[in-house]
């Protein structure tokens, strides 16, 4: 079935403003059913969680629905879904929760390709616990992060291997299953940063071998809310400081205070929306908040609703991947044809995100020049600080980043290339 980008764009009314968004790696526009779900909770009778009355039961249902949605998105057990303000906050939660058992002589393995959110919490906790940090290096000539980079680092004293499922700078997708198998062979825990990957690839946390996998919904048409998934038994082994009266049960133990019910409803709506991407037709827009904590009919297409959501998500994300890959080739071909543009190397088959520099122009100037023409790209290090330091580019402004998202069109790619 062809990928119906026009239908998808219609579901993002903000695109009508006319900007060309190549900034999805920093955050996407939300889909309209997501905005409606958030507004539906804020405008509806939703109390704090209690079983005593219906608006309180709605809040309970909203939380359950969001855990189920995260489970369907990632192939995870809903009972092991922990929500948090951001991926960064959740990595700190996990790192603090694991570090208490580390001892001098242990080590943690981090990479120079990762976003700092999956680096610095481990480095800082390692320093606090007197534990060695070992760095897995990417190949600067290719942008690859091979399993071989981990082999000399991981041993019986390795407590954690923290690795990205996809680079937010150059799109590299490391062989996480092989890296996880290596780590597990030595009894280490594998923490996977899925923030960039989740927007572009079908995800199965079990197939990845991730003990923890973190994602942020604002990178895939959702609200500013993150989730970290792990097996409930893994969370049981993770420590957490909490208030006396609050639940010690998994996963609630890790979610301090009252959750944002509106963002949780938006999270569910975003997963429901992603599940529609490979189907023809128009999302049903009859959505009204129901007692199950979701919008009636939101994002569900006629004839498609009978398939389980997990199956629809996987099909949709496979369709997204092939659509985005084709557009990305057009973008890369165009960039590489310009003698003044230096494209930073990345292996084929990664996520559709490229970093480049224009000769004689610092990256911030290039981004501003494109921004003046309504083309949204980021410049700098985008928090991939170790990557840009290793490439020797951090001091001189990093690079310009352009990413394809599933609402990007070939016309927008051509517009970016022409503006450059
Ligand atoms: C790969 C990657 N990891 C982690 C993060 C941090 O996510 P959050 O903003 O939810 O903390 C980002 C954000 O840009 C990212 O791209």
Q: Which domains does the chain have, with CATH numbers?
A: 20-27+315-419 (3.90.1150.10), 39-266 (3.40.640.10)
Could you tell me which residues come within 8 angstroms of residue 100 by beta carbon, excluding any fewer than 6 positions away? 239
pLDDT of residue 3: 83
Protein residues with CB under 6 Å of any ligand 1 atom: 25, 86-88, 115, 117, 164, 168, 193, 195-196, 216, 226, 383
Going from the Cα of 248 to the center of ligand 1, the distance in angstroms, rounded, reads 28
Look at ligand 1, atom 13, and give the residue with the nearest C-alpha: 26
With residue 21 as reference, give the H or E element that holds it: strand 20-21
Could you tell me which residues come within 8 angstroms of residue 164 by beta carbon, excluding any fewer than 6 positions away? 111, 113, 114, 115, 118, 174, 192, 193, 196, 197
Which of 117, 212, 225, 270 has the most ligand 1 atoms within 8 A of CB, as the residue to mutate? 117
Q: Confidence class of residue 284 from pLDDT cuts 50, 70 and 90?
A: very low
Q: Is the peptide bond before 352 cis (omega within 30 degrees of 0)?
A: no
Tell whether the model's pLDDT for residue 279 goes beyond 80.
no
Instruction: Give tens-digit pLDDT for 338-394.
Output: 999 999 999 999 999 999 999 999 999 999 999 999 999 999 999 999 999 999 999
Tell whether the model's pLDDT for residue 302 goes beyond 60.
no
Q: Is 101 exposed, middle or buried (0-12, 13-18, 19+ CB in 10 A)?
A: exposed
pLDDT of residue 298: 45
Q: How far apart are CA 115 and CA 163, in angstroms?
A: 9
Instruction: Give tens-digit pLDDT for 179-202.
Output: 999 999 999 999 999 999 999 999
Q: Confidence class of residue 291 from pLDDT cuts 50, 70 and 90?
A: low
Q: What is the mean pLDDT of the chain?
A: 94
Average pLDDT over residues 69-81: 98
Q: How far apart are CA 399 and CA 24, in angstroms?
A: 16
Which of 216, 270, 351 has the most ligand 1 atoms within 8 A of CB, as the residue to mutate? 216
Position in ligand 1 atom list of the atom nearest CA 27: 14
Going from the Cα of 337 to the center of ligand 1, the distance in angstroms, rounded, reads 31
């Amino acid at each position: 079935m062809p990928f119906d980008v026009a239908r998808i764009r219609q579901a993002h009314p903000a695109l009508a403003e006319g900007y060309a968004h190549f900034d999805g790696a920093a955050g996407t526009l939300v889909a309209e059913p997501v905005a409606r779900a958030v507004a539906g909770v804020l405008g509806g009778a939703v109390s704090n969680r209690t079983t005593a009355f219906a608006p309180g039961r709605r809040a309970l249902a909203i939380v359950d629905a969001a855990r189920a949605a995260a489970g369907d998105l990632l192939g995870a057990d809903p009972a092991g879904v922990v929500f948090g303000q951001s991926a960064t906050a959740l990595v700190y939660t996990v790192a603090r929760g694991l570090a208490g058992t580390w001892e001098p002589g242990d080590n943690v393995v981090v990479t120079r390709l990762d976003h700092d959110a999956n680096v610095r919490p481990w480095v800082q906790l390692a320093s606090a616990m007197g534990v060695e940090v070992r760095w897995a290096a990417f190949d600067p000539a290719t942008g690859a992060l091979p399993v071989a980079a981990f082999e000399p680092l991981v041993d019986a004293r390795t407590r954690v291997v923290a690795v990205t499922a996809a680079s937010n700078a150059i799109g590299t997708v490391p062989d996480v299953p092989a890296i996880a198998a290596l780590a597990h062979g030595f009894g280490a825990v594998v923490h996977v940063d899925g923030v960039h990957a989740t927007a572009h690839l079908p995800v199965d946390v079990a197939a990845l071998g991730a003990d923890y996998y973190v994602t942020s919904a604002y990178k895939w048409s959702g609200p500013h809310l993150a989730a970290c998934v792990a097996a409930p038994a893994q969370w049981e082994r993770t420590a957490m400081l909490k208030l006396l009266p609050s639940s010690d049960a998994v996963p609630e133990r890790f979610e301090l205070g009252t959750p944002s019910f509106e963002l949780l409803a938006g999270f569910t709506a975003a997963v429901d929306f992603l599940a529609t991407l490979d189907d023809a037709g128009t999302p049903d827009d009859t959505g009204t908040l129901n007692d199950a904590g979701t919008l009636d009919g939101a994002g569900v297409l006629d004839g498609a609703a009978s398939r389980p959501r997990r199956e629809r998500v996987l099909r949709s994300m496979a369709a997204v991947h092939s659509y985005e890959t084709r557009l990305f080739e057009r973008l890369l071909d165009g960039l590489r044809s310009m003698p003044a543009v230096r494209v930073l190397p990345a292996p084929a088959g990664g996520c559709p995100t490229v970093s480049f520099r224009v000769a004689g122009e610092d990256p911030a100037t290039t981004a501003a020049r494109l921004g003046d023409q309504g083309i949204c790209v980021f410049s700098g290090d985008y928090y991939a600080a170790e990557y840009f330091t290793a490439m020797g580019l951090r001091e001189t402004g990093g690079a310009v980043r352009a990413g394809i998202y599933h609402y990007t069109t070939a016309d927008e790619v051509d517009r970016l290339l022409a503006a450059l």
